[in-house]
């Protein structure tokens, strides 16, 4: 047998290699390092690897190459997505590293494997065990996301999807408090996630069967060379994108979102909500723009339906939520719809605006969950909105920061959310989907109501006995929070440099 | 033809003129209480600095030939959108320099005076900050080289005026007066903003140069509309009929504010606007006539109100209205009047500032009492205040050689060049001026003591009297200096134009007649208020007096014509909003809320039903895909 190993551009892949190596070392540390220095070593590894990876991504600026035997593509949009994922991961990891908020220590279960309510668990909690298993999982998830946005064929993309998913299922079940809720969410996420992956795999098989290739550029070629062939490939495409659509929480693949948002540890939600959305949109963009870019008119209606359903259902159901994490889960669904409006444009403007949106959204989301993790009462985090009444009077600074994020998510001018909504809507109008934008604007109106309702509850309601208090966090959460505020404001007031950077990033390498 | 020169040498400091007081305002406002001790001095220093620069610029400008005295400095590109391009550019010429000098020099004196006048006020720093803000905005107004930038300054002085009228917010009257000034000024501002839009639409530019250069190409109807809109703006800012009602209430502000903003500088911005836009008025005869009519009406309204008020500041405010009426009137006469409008504006700026500060000095000694019926016989107690006040008095009624004589006489003469009837009216008004000013002087400084029991009048400290003395010197000599040494009409001619038309009678006849009428007015005033005892309780008075005490029913007319209808339509709109709009909104909200309840039921919590709906959703999407493909 004659096997030639594929040529590999190690420098282009270095951002991922660093994370992968760090993840392996992190597992070893978890296994062999003494408990006392484990946290220190893990933080060193995680932040060191993420920062190194960020630097390597910056050094790779301008790279446009396909490597690893055609499996991995590094181009402008990929680098932007990778950079965003890594930076957001740093902020998300900072939330997870926080140990000043919960009086017991951190927000993770003393041992994830112990049964909720068992004697075992009670003893572990009493002894004050703190675990660091979260860190290798985080690194593997980040690695999966980086691969997800750079994958150039169906198989690698599937592998990446699974590398993202498996750690996240586990992380979801690790909440220290309300463990049953957390584990239930984890299990649901796992079952439904596997289900979505199956759709993806089946779709991949159909597409391969039609085009004879798993590589995106070749799939695109086969679509143009034999245009009138069977509808099998379109069924395949539809099933294929269910994978990423499930990850972004678009309707009708959204049911897991509120449960996971509510059940998972808040820091993990902050990390996951910000980064997974970037990664999944990166993958979705690549599938639709690169592999199926030539048949835009065939997939556009599908995206329209999903976008409209997501915007409307997410906005309307969020109205009546009383739990802030659950509410934000529904808002996540609605936001996915808004971003899909930009994606549906299938134009360079659509690519740019979608990327801008996920960046702006990611930072506002990390900040939002930073604040939620700080608002507590005797039972841990106070996620019921009743406990938020009048918080703005007790802690005006923190409440103002949250208001800024919420106004940003609602798309009020002078925040990043306005610029991003504006950009996706403009892209959609240029692509001729004005009716979609009209629905989008109506949905934004409804969404503005529940975002502003939180602001009103915080500032204009009288504090009651139930009102929670805001805990002063350590530097970790403070940094994430401040970064969120800064980016939300800067992208709202001076979006031009970032918009320029995105348009310089160019298009996908085909 | 005037050349436009780039700002070089001392003129490169043009932006500093504005930046200095603006920086002062910023430091004082942001610095907060930390600047309480040294803040006021910093405020004075910035204005003095601007004044020094202004004087240097005047000297440099005088060294240049007449047609090379216009300097433009482009500070930065301000608005560049499509064809709408406006620079933040400053223009210094013969017209703006005299305003800059008036603002900074009189301003500096009033700042120093305020140091004493506001010595015991806990918010003295804030007062100086607002004054600095005013000076910066006013300088921007007169230095702008386009209407849009002028508008920024225009609104800036309006804001400063609002803040300073309401400076003693704890007094409900002050707060109400500030609000009134603000609201009435908005009416004028609407005129200005619409005028600017019309100018842009007509000429495609808002810079003075471009607009005045193209006046010949525009049709007269448009120009008349622009002229009338600008007149509306001027009427609001300069308290001219029919927007005069706010100025009398504005006297609620501290006296230095009344002197600087509501007598010497801001209220003359309307005159500046008309004089600056002379090219438009020269081409729009009807608009110019409207200016004359408005000016003439206000001359009489102000004079009559001034004759009846017992509050010394309100009487002076009426007089200010009347004197600005003279300026507006002169500006409406066209090229025969512009230069004298500005001339009178300058002399008035000095002597009226002196009179107001004098009144402030009297109030300072009388426990802040303003009722002239409780004054009397103060000439022996406040010697400096008395003498300086007399200089202002002789200047305003127009006795030679005091400054007001020269400027007012020129305006009357120009009126006769146009039309003998309006000339005669101007002379009659001068007579009324003689009456009410004599009444004021007699009631304040002569006659018997009518002081309240606990009042012990005394002369004011030096920090207040020295500015008074300087202003009195100005009131005495400035008219002659500007006319004979400064050749004011030829100085301003390149900017506003100047011509002289022969009058039916020789010039000296008008001068003599005017003087005789003024002296008759003064004698009537003297006989009524110095010879006879002044009752402490105001007598009922005749119909005109009672009307004048009510500001000639200005407020009542406003109430009937504007306030009531506005309230009523606001109530109607509120009802409509509550019933129709809210009804619709409530209905929509409950509809969406219902939908939310229904949709929420689909979230059962069972993984199996979630999976089922995923399958259902996937099937729908795939069917849709196939349908699209097949169609």
pLDDT digits (tens, 9 = 90+) for A318-364: 988 889 999 999 999 999 999 999 999 888 889 999 999 999 999 99
A192 touches chain B (CB under 8 A): yes
Task: State residue A100's pLDDT score.
Answer: 84
Residue A378: inside a domain? yes
B621 touches chain A (CB under 8 A): yes
Structure tokens at B286: 């009807």
Cβ(A248)–Cβ(A278) under 8 Å? no
Among partner residues A195, A238, A251, which is closest to B611 by beta-carbon distance? Answer: A195
**A60/A72 Cα distance (integer angstroms):** 14
Strand order in the sheet with A469-470: A380-381, A375-377, A469-470
**Inter-chain CB proximity B613 and A255 less than 8 Å:** yes
B631 touches chain A (CB under 8 A): no
- HEC profile for B46-82? HHHHHHHHHHHHHHHHHHCCHHHCEEEEEEEEEEEEC
Provide mean pLDDT across the span A110-122. 81
Which residue's entry shows tokens 């549906």?
A: A344
Minimum mean pLDDT range among A43-52, A386-395, B451-460: B451-460
Domain range for A38: 10-505
- Which residues partner with A380 through β-bridges? A377
Residue A1: inside a domain? no
Among partner residues B607, B613, B616, which is closest to A188 by beta-carbon distance? Answer: B607
**A216/A152 Cα distance (integer angstroms):** 6
Among partner residues B603, B618, B620, which is closest to A199 by beta-carbon distance? Answer: B618
Mutate: best of B588, B621, B624, partner A, most A CBs <10 A: B621
Structure tokens at A503: 């348009």
Nearest by Cα to B157 from B238, B89, B90, B86: B238
pLDDT class of B416 with cuts at 50, 70, 90:
confident
Quick check: B427 pLDDT over 60?
yes
**Inter-chain CB proximity A316 and B620 less than 8 Å:** no
Q: Cα B422 vs. chain centroid, distance in angstroms? A: 25
The number of C-beta contacts closer than 8 angstroms across A and B is: 82
Task: State residue B585's pLDDT score.
Answer: 80
Report the residue of chain A nearest B585, measured CA to CA: A446
Cβ(A367)–Cβ(A401) under 8 Å? yes
**Inter-chain CB proximity A298 and B599 less than 8 Å:** no
B624 touches chain A (CB under 8 A): yes
Mutate: best of B588, B590, B618, B626, partner A, most A CBs <10 A: B618
Task: State residue B1's pLDDT score.
Answer: 52
The CA-atom distances, in angstroms, between A350 and each of A238, A358, A503 are: 20, 12, 11
Quick check: A230 pLDDT over 80?
no
Which residue's entry shows tokens 């006489």?
A: B409
Residue A224: inside a domain? yes
Report the residue of chain B nearest A304, measured CA to CA: B621
Provide mean pLDDT across the span A426-439. 91
Residue A2: inside a domain? no
How far away is chain A from the Cα of B578, in angstroms, using its nearest Cα?
20
Provide mean pLDDT across the span B346-375. 87
Instruction: Give the phi and the psi of residue B207 in degrees, each rounded to 5.
Output: -75, 145
Q: Cα A322 vs. chain centroid, distance in angstroms? A: 23
Provide mean pLDDT across the span A238-258. 92
Helices (H) and strands (E) in chain B, counts: 27, 3
How far away is chain B from the Cα of A91, in angstroms, using its nearest Cα?
31
Neighboring chain B residues of A301 at a CB cutoff of 8 Å: 624-625, 628
Percent with pLDDT over 70 in chain B: 99
Whole-complex ipTM:
0.88
Task: State residue A314's pLDDT score.
Answer: 92
Task: State residue A1's pLDDT score.
Answer: 61
Nearest by Cα to A282 from A144, A56, A78, A500: A78
The CA-atom distances, in angstroms, between B507 and each of A315, B240, B497, B499 are: 83, 29, 22, 16
The CA-atom distances, in angstroms, between B279 and each of A1, A68, B227, B273, B479 are: 95, 76, 10, 11, 27
pLDDT digits (tens, 9 = 90+) for B464-516: 888 889 889 989 998 888 888 878 888 888 888 888 888 778 888 888 999 99
Among partner residues A246, A301, A313, which is closest to B628 by beta-carbon distance? Answer: A301
Quick check: A229 pLDDT over 70?
no
Cβ(B116)–Cβ(B464) under 8 Å? yes
Neighboring chain B residues of A313 at a CB cutoff of 8 Å: 599
How far away is chain A from the Cα of B599, in angstroms, using its nearest Cα?
6
Residue A281: inside a domain? yes
Task: State residue B84's pLDDT score.
Answer: 76
Which residue's entry shows tokens 């209606």?
A: A301
pLDDT digits (tens, 9 = 90+) for A404-424: 999 999 998 889 999 999 999
Percent with pLDDT over 70 in chain A: 99
Among partner residues A199, A238, A316, which is closest to B592 by beta-carbon distance? Answer: A316
How far away is chain A from the Cα of B458, in angstroms, using its nearest Cα?
52
How many other C-beta atoms are found inside a 10 Å radius of the C-beta of residue A169? 21
Alpha-carbon radius of gyration of chain B: 29
Provide mean pLDDT across the span B245-266. 85
pLDDT digits (tens, 9 = 90+) for A174-223: 888 888 889 999 999 999 999 999 999 999 999 999 888 999 999 998 88
How many other C-beta atoms are found inside a 10 Å radius of the C-beta of residue B584? 10
Cβ(A378)–Cβ(A450) under 8 Å? no
Q: Is B88 helix (H, G, I), strand (E, B) or coil?
A: strand
The secondary structure of residue A7, as a DSSP letter, is P
Pinpoint the alpha helices (H) of A319-394. Answer: 324-343, 348-374, 391-394
The CA-atom distances, in angstroms, between B237 and each of B90, B233, B297, B312 are: 22, 6, 16, 22
Provide mean pLDDT across the span B521-546. 80
B120 touches chain A (CB under 8 A): no
**A125/A128 Cα distance (integer angstroms):** 5
B544 touches chain A (CB under 8 A): no
Q: Is the dihedral of CA B231, B232, B238, B239 positive or negative?
A: positive
Among partner residues A192, A251, A320, which is closest to B611 by beta-carbon distance? Answer: A192
Cβ(A257)–Cβ(A332) under 8 Å? yes
How far away is chain B from the Cα of A310, in angstroms, using its nearest Cα?
12
A92 Rama sector, left if φ>0, alpha if ψ -120 to 50, beta otherwise? alpha
How many other C-beta atoms are found inside a 10 Å radius of the C-beta of residue B10? 15
**B277/B231 Cα distance (integer angstroms):** 10
Q: Is A170 helix (H, G, I), strand (E, B) or coil?
A: helix
How many domains does one find in chain A? 1
B213 touches chain A (CB under 8 A): no
**Inter-chain CB proximity A319 and B621 less than 8 Å:** no
Using a CB cutoff of 8 Å and minimum separation of 24, what contacts does A102-106 make? A102/A176, A102/A376, A102/A380, A104/A128, A104/A176, A105/A130, A106/A130, A106/A176
The secondary structure of residue A74, as a DSSP letter, is E
pLDDT class of A49 with cuts at 50, 70, 90:
very high
**B317/B181 Cα distance (integer angstroms):** 14
Residue A248: inside a domain? yes
Report the residue of chain A nearest B610, measured CA to CA: A255
Q: Is B4 helix (H, G, I), strand (E, B) or coil?
A: strand
Provide mean pLDDT across the span B369-390. 86
**B164/B129 Cα distance (integer angstroms):** 10
**Inter-chain CB proximity B611 and A320 less than 8 Å:** no
pLDDT digits (tens, 9 = 90+) for B69-125: 888 888 887 777 667 778 888 898 888 999 999 999 989 988 888 888 888 888 888
Mutate: best of B594, B605, B607, B612, partner A, most A CBs <10 A: B607
Report the residue of chain B nearest A235, measured CA to CA: B622
Provide mean pLDDT across the span B600-623. 86
Cβ(A411)–Cβ(A356) under 8 Å? no
Specify the pairing of strand B70-81 against strand B4-6. parallel
Report the residue of chain A nearest B621, measured CA to CA: A302
**Inter-chain CB proximity A192 and B628 less than 8 Å:** no
**Inter-chain CB proximity B618 and A239 less than 8 Å:** yes
Q: What is the residue-averaged pLDDT of chain B?
A: 87
Half-sphere exposure of B467 (CA within 13 A, CB side): 31
Instruction: Give the phi and the psi of residue B88 in degrees, each rounded to 5.
Output: -85, 85
pLDDT digits (tens, 9 = 90+) for B198-229: 999 888 888 888 888 888 888 888 999 999 99
Report the residue of chain B nearest A330, measured CA to CA: B600
Nearest by Cα to B122 from B37, B50, B195: B37
Neighboring chain A residues of B629 at a CB cutoff of 8 Å: 231, 234, 298
Type and span of the H or E element at A381: strand A380-381
The CA-atom distances, in angstroms, between B503 and each of B412, B415, B416, B500, B509 are: 11, 9, 6, 9, 11
Quick check: A311 pLDDT over 70?
yes
Among partner residues B593, B600, B617, which is closest to A252 by beta-carbon distance? Answer: B617
**B327/B339 Cα distance (integer angstroms):** 10
Among partner residues B592, B599, B622, which is closest to A238 by beta-carbon distance? Answer: B622
Cβ contacts of A186 within 8 Å, gap of 6 or more: A169, A170, A172, A173, A260, A263, A264
């Amino acid at each position: 047998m004659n096997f030639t190993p594929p040529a590999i551009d190690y420098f282009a892949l270095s951002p991922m290699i660093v994370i992968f190596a760090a993840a392996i070392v992190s597992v070893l540390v978890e296994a062999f390092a003494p408990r006392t220095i484990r946290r220190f070593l893990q933080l060193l590894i995680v932040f060191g690897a993420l920062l190194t990876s960020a630097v390597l991504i910056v050094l790779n600026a301008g790279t446009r190459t396909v490597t690893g035997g055609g499996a991995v593509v590094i181009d402008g949009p990929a680098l932007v997505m990778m950079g965003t994922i890594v930076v957001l991961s740093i902020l998300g990891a900072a939330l997870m590293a926080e140990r000043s908020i919960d009086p017991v220590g951190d927000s993770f279960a003393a041992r994830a494997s112990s049964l909720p309510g068992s004697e075992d668990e009670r003893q572990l909690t009493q002894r004050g065990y703190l675990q660091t298993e979260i860190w290798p999982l985080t690194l593997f998830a980040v690695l999966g996301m980086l691969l997800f946005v750079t994958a150039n064929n169906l198989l690698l993309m599937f592998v990446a999807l699974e590398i993202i998913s498996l750690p996240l299922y586990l992380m979801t079940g690790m909440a220290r408090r309300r463990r049953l809720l957390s584990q239930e969410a984890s299990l649901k996420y796992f079952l439904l996630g596997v289900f979505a992956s199956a759709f993806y795999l089946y779709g991949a098989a159909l597409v391969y069967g039609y085009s004879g290739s798993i590589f995106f550029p070749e799939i695109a070629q086969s679509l143009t060379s034999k245009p009138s062939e069977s509808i099998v490939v379109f069924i395949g495409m539809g099933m294929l994108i269910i994978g990423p659509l499930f990850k972004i929480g678009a309707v009708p693949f959204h049911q897991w979102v509120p449960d996971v948002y509510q059940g998972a540890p808040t820091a993990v939600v902050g990390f996951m909500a910000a980064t997974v959305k970037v990664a999944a949109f990166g993958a979705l963009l690549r599938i639709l723009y690169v592999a199926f870019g030539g048949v835009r008119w065939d997939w556009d209606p599908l995206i329209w339906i999903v976008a409209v359903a997501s915007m409307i259902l997410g906005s309307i159901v969020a109205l009546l939520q009383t739990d802030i994490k659950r509410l934000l889960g529904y808002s996540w669904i609605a936001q996915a719809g808004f971003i899909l409006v930009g994606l549906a444009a299938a134009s360079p403007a659509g690519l740019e605006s979608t990327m801008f949106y996920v960046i702006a959204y990611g930072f506002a989301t990390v900040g939002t969950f930073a604040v939620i993790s700080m608002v507590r009462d005797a039972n841990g985090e106070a996620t019921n909105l009743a406990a938020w009444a009048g918080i703005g009077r007790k802690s005006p600074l923190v409440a103002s920061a949250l208001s800024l994020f919420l106004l940003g998510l609602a798309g009020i001018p002078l925040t990043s959310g306005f610029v991003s909504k504006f950009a996706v809507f403009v892209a959609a109008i240029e692509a001729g989907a004005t009716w979609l934008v009209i629905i989008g604007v109506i949905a934004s109106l409804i969404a503005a109501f529940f975002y502003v309702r939180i602001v009103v509850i915080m500032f204009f309601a009288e504090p009651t006995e139930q009102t929670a208090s805001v805990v002063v966090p350590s530097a970790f959460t403070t940094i994430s929070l401040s970064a969120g505020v800064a980016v939300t404001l800067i992208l709202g007031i001076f979006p031009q440099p970032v918009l320029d950077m995105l348009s310089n990033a160019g298009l996908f390498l085909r | 033809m005037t050349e436009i020169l780039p700002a070089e040498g001392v003129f490169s400091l043009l932006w500093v003129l504005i930046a200095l007081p603006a920086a002062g305002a910023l430091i004082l406002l942001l610095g907060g209480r930390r600047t309480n001790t040294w803040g006021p001095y910093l405020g004075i220093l910035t204005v003095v600095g601007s004044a020094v620069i202004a004087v240097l610029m005047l000297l440099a400008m005088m060294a240049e030939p007449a047609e090379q005295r216009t300097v433009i400095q482009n500070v930065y590109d301000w608005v560049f959108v499509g064809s709408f391009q406006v620079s933040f550019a400053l223009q210094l010429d013969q017209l703006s320099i005299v305003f800059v000098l008036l603002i900074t020099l009189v301003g500096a004196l009033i700042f120093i005076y305020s140091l004493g006048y506001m010595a015991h006020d806990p918010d003295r720093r804030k007062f100086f900050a607002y004054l600095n803000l005013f000076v910066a905005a006013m300088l921007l107004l007169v230095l702008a080289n386009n209407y849009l930038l002028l508008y920024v300054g225009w609104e800036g002085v309006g804001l400063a005026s609002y803040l300073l009228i309401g400076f003693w917010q704890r007094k409900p009257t002050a707060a109400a007066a500030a609000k009134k000034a603000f609201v009435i000024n908005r009416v004028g501002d609407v005129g200005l903003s619409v005028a600017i839009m019309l100018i842009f639409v007509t000429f495609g530019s808002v810079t003075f140069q471009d607009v005045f250069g193209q006046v010949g190409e525009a049709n007269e109807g448009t120009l008349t509309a622009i002229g009338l809109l600008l007149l509306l703006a001027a009427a609001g800012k300069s308290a001219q009929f029919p927007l005069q009602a706010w100025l009398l209430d504005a006297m609620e502000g501290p006296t230095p504010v009344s002197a600087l903003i509501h007598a010497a500088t801001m209220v003359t911005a309307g005159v500046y606007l008309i004089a600056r836009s002379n090219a438009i008025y020269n081409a729009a005869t009807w608009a110019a006539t409207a200016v004359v009519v408005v000016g003439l009406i206000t001359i009489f309204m102000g004079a009559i109100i001034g004759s009846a008020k017992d509050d010394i500041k309100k009487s002076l405010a009426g007089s200010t209205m009347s004197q600005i009426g003279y300026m507006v009137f002169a500006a409406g006469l066209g090229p025969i009047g512009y230069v004298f409008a500005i001339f009178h504006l300058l002399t008035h700026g000095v002597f009226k500032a002196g009179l107001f500060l004098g009144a402030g000095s009297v109030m300072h000694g009388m426990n802040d009492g303003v009722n002239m019926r409780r004054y009397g016989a103060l000439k022996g107690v406040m010697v400096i205040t008395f003498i300086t006040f007399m200089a202002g008095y002789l200047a305003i009624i127009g006795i030679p050689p005091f400054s007001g004589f020269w400027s007012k006489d020129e305006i009357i003469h120009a009126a006769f060049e146009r039309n003998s009837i309006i000339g005669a009216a101007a002379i009659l008004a001068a007579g009324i001026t003689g009456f009410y000013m004599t009444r004021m002087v007699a009631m304040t400084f002569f006659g018997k003591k009518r002081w309240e029991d606990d009042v012990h009048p005394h002369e004011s400290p030096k920090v207040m009297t020295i500015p008074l003395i300087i202003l009195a010197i100005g009131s005495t000599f400035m008219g002659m200096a500007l006319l004979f040494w400064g050749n004011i009409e030829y100085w301003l001619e390149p900017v506003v134009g100047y011509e002289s038309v022969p009058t039916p009678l020789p010039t000296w006849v008008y001068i003599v007649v005017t003087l005789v009428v003024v002296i008759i007015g003064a004698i009537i005033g003297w006989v009524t208020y110095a010879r006879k005892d002044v009752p402490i309780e105001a007598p009922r008075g005749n119909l005109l007096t009672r009307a004048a005490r009510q500001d000639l029913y200005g407020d009542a007319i406003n109430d009937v014509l504007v306030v009531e209808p506005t309230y009523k339509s606001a109530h109607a709109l509120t009802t409509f909003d509550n019933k129709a709009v809210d009804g619709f909104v409530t209905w929509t909200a409950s509809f969406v809320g219902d939908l939310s309840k229904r949709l929420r039921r689909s979230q059962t919590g069972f993984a199996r039903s979630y999976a089922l709906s995923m399958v259902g959703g996937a099937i729908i999407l795939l069917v849709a895909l196939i349908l699209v493909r097949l169609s």
